[in-house]
């Protein structure tokens, strides 16, 4: 049912304020507004329900909401790329086409898509929404020491502005059209709390962190993510690059057990994890996310 899926996607863009002439009106048979909240119409066809339920919590928070969603696509043995850093080629990628479509949808729903310098160096992505209707987000690249050459696509492709986050001791002028954002250092790298504040001050409050493992892990460990999305692909990568890198848990009881929402994407499974929800089995001790808590669903 392509038409209904298109209608559902257009409605989501409208609710999030990203559609052309965006309006947040109910869509008969798909979405309705009750008690000031959006909900999926009980009669919505199964083919649209997953689409609506996955993205509604993000768009329903509105255009002024603050959220930061990290995504990693990984093999069953927890790798996001081969040891040499290959996560996609002309013929294959870690996750399948439906998950790639999801990445483009997430880009369309955020104000900025953020990646680390390693992802630009290895994958040379464009980070645009060319597979789905919706606006291109601002591209944010963490390149604290400016190791990236300026011929990467995010610096050449004119479809969206690119902001490069550098250490505040960096003196060199910008190369090409990308703007520089100077961020103070701490012992672990750039001060991520100050980075988030600086992005929010520019109106970049809804962030999609698309990789790689180092960048998502650092944001997770700093308590800067509101959601984590892990897509598991039926793939085994021998001695590859790890995904999340977390501090050691001394006891199994210290492990963080989250309540997932699980979505099938072709042969892959997406785990969508709300990091502010009470963990499975108790109050838990995870620090709440530091950004815009009161605005989150
Ligand atoms: N499967 C997937 O979902 C997926 C997604 C994206 C990428 N990938 C793959 O993952 C690999 C790249 O990932 P990666 O983990 O190696 O690198 P990455 O996260 O893309 O980039 C890491 C680099 O970004 C900079 N950085 C990130 N956070 C920082 C912070 N808080 N403070 C200062 N600098 C920070 C640092 O640059 P400096 O090193 O210059 O200090 C750091 O080494 C590639 O092989 C790519 O193909 C896979």
* Same domain? 135 vs 219: yes
53 and 81 in a single domain? The answer is no
Evaluate if residue 288 carries a pLDDT over 50. no
CA 39 – ligand 1 centroid, Å: 37
What stretch of H or E contains 163? Answer: strand 162-167
Q: Output the CA 12–ligand 1 centroid distance in Å.
A: 30
Contact 226, 276 (CB under 8 A): yes
Compute, in angstroms, the gap from residue 293 CA to the centroid of ligand 1. Answer: 26
d(CA 225, CA 197): 13
pLDDT confidence of residue 27:
76
Q: Among 61, 79, 106, which residue terminates a domain?
A: 61
Is residue 268 within 8 Å of 231, Cβ to Cβ? yes
- 72-105 pLDDT, tens digit each: 999 999 999 999 999 999 899 999 999 999 999 9
Ligand 1: which of 71, 212, 233 to mutate, most ligand atoms within 8 Å of CB? Answer: 212
* pTM for this entry: 0.93
What are the residue ranges of helices labelled H in the chain? 2-16, 46-59, 97-109, 117-123, 153-156, 192-201, 213-221
State the residue range of the domain holding 252. Answer: 64-295
268 neighbors 99 (Cβ within 8 angstroms): yes
Q: Provide the number of structural domains found in the chain.
A: 2
Question: Which pLDDT does position 35 carry in this prediction?
Answer: 86
Say if ligand 1 is within 6 A of residue 233 CB. no
Q: Which of 13, 43, 61 is the last residue of a domain?
A: 61
Co-location of 28 and 130 in the same domain: no
Grouping H, G, I as helix, E, B as strand and the rest as coil, residue 225 is coil
Taking the centre of ligand 1 as the mean of its atom positions, its distance from the CA of residue 20, in whole angstroms, is 33
Identify whether residues 153 and 196 lie together within a single domain.
Answer: yes
Q: Does the C-beta of 72 come closer than 6 Å to ligand 1?
A: yes
Tell me: do 221 and 77 sit in the same domain.
yes
Neighbours of 3 (CB within 10 A): 7
Domain CATH code at residue 252:
3.40.430.10
30: left (phi over 0), alpha (psi -120 to 50) or beta: alpha
- Mean pLDDT score across all residues of the chain: 90
Span 3-56, pLDDT tens digits: 889 999 999 998 998 865 545 566 778 888 888 888 999 999 988 999 999 999
């Amino acid at each position: 049912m392509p038409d209904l899926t298109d209608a559902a996607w257009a409605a989501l863009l409208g609710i999030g304020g990203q559609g052309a002439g965006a309006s947040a009106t109910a869509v008969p048979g798909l979405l309705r507004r009750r008690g000031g909240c959006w909900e999926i119409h009980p009669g919505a066809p199964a083919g649209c329900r997953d689409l609506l339920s996955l993205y509604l919590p993000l768009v329903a928070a509105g255009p002024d909401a603050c959220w930061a969603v990290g995504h990693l696509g990984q093999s069953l043995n927890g790798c996001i790329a081969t040891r040499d850093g290959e996560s996609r080629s002309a013929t294959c990628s870690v996750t399948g086409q439906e998950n790639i479509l999801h990445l483009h949808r997430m880009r369309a729903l955020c104000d900025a898509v953020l990646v680390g310098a390693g992802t630009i160096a290895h994958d040379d992505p464009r980070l645009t929404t060319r597979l789905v209707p919706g606006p291109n987000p601002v591209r944010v690249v963490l390149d604290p020491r400016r190791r990236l050459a300026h011929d990467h696509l995010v610096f050449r492709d004119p479809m969206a502005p690119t902001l490069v986050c550098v250490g505040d001791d960096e003196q060199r002028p910008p190369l090409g059209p990308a703007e520089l954002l100077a961020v103070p250092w701490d012992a672990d790298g750039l001060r991520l709390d100050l980075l988030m504040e600086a992005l929010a001050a520019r109106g970049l409050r809804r962030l999609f962190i698309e990789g790689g493992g180092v960048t998502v892990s650092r944001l997770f460990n700093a308590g800067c993510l509101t959601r984590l999305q892990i897509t598991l692909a039926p793939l085994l990568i021998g001695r590859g690059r790890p995904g999340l890198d977390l501090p050691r848990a001394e006891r199994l009881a210290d492990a963080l057990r989250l309540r997932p929402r699980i979505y099938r994407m072709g042969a892959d499974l997406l785990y969508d994890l709300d990091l502010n929800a009470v963990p499975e089995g108790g109050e838990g001790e995870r620090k709440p996310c530091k950004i815009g808590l009161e605005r989150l669903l």
